[in-house]
Amino acid sequence: MNNKAFIFDLDGVIVDTAKYHFLAWKELANSLGFDFTEQQNELLKGVSRVKSLEILLDLGHIELSQAEKDKYLHDKNEKYLSYIAKMDTLEILSGIPELLAFLKTEKIPFALGSASKNARLILENLKLLDDFDTIVDGNDVSTAKPDPEVFLIAAERLGIEPKDCIVIEDAFAGVQAANSAGMTSVAIGDPEVLKGADYNLKNTKELTVALARQLINRRRVQTMNLTTRTKI
């Protein structure tokens, strides 16, 4: 195997916590007197909690003091934590357990690169905390995606050159961050939304061991869409 590494986003890649974020943000919006839709929630994917609140307030045309913002951020996080506290291994997305097992067997290092400040708690509930070689989350970075900081820190900790890192993402901001870092970007989701990714997959079921082998054994290549191709 080549000297490569994988870096995984959390939400929408390892597990789907987006639904819990949505419910928590929706409750916050409702408490402020306006509705918040699933379509609007797409704007928050891959974005930090602070930035997400700013987007939400803009949607509702609401202005708050910093003290009020801090309170609502705390309230939102408490509601979100109440949801994820009930998570278990059954919520790990299809294809992920097999892929992680393969990487461990082949001694291919892998990291988590997530904007979430609750990443370690979620991984602990999923019994995956000890599987990752390193975890870089919202507590470790000063800038959010699309800034590549989170992925560059992960690469440095793994001791792997950015060009040899393969990033699995489900958010446009994450794809941008991976590309800015000079890494190979694999996007999970709608290719019309996740433009610019080196590879596009419909869902995590397509993150097969066979695909991982091909990614490991080839250099960064021009963009191609796996939703319309059966082979790389």
Task: Tell me the pLDDT tens digit for each residue of 50-65.
Answer: 999 999 999 999 999 9
Contact 187, 199 (CB under 8 A): yes
Domain boundary residue, one of 44, 62, 84: 84
156 and 171 belong to one structural domain? yes
Structure tokens at 148: 């590549």
Residue 178: which of 193, 192, 196 has the closest Cα?
A: 196
Contact 183, 165 (CB under 8 A): yes
Going by their DSSP bridges, the two strands 199-201 and 184-188 should be labelled as parallel
Q: Is the pLDDT score of 224 beyond 80?
A: no
**Does some domain include residue 232?**
no
Dist CA 178 CA 152 (whole Å): 9
The residues annotated with a catalytic role in the active site are 9, 11
58 and 122 belong to one structural domain? no
More confident residue, 117 or 93: 93
The pLDDT-based confidence of 2 (bands split at 50, 70, 90) is: low
164 and 55 belong to one structural domain? no
- In this prediction the pTM is 0.81
Domain boundary residue, one of 29, 63, 84: 84
110 and 40 belong to one structural domain? no
**Does some domain include residue 118?**
yes
Question: DSSP H helical segments within 115-208, as ranges?
Answer: 119-125, 149-158, 172-180
44 and 115 belong to one structural domain? no
Q: Which domain holds residue 24?
A: 18-84
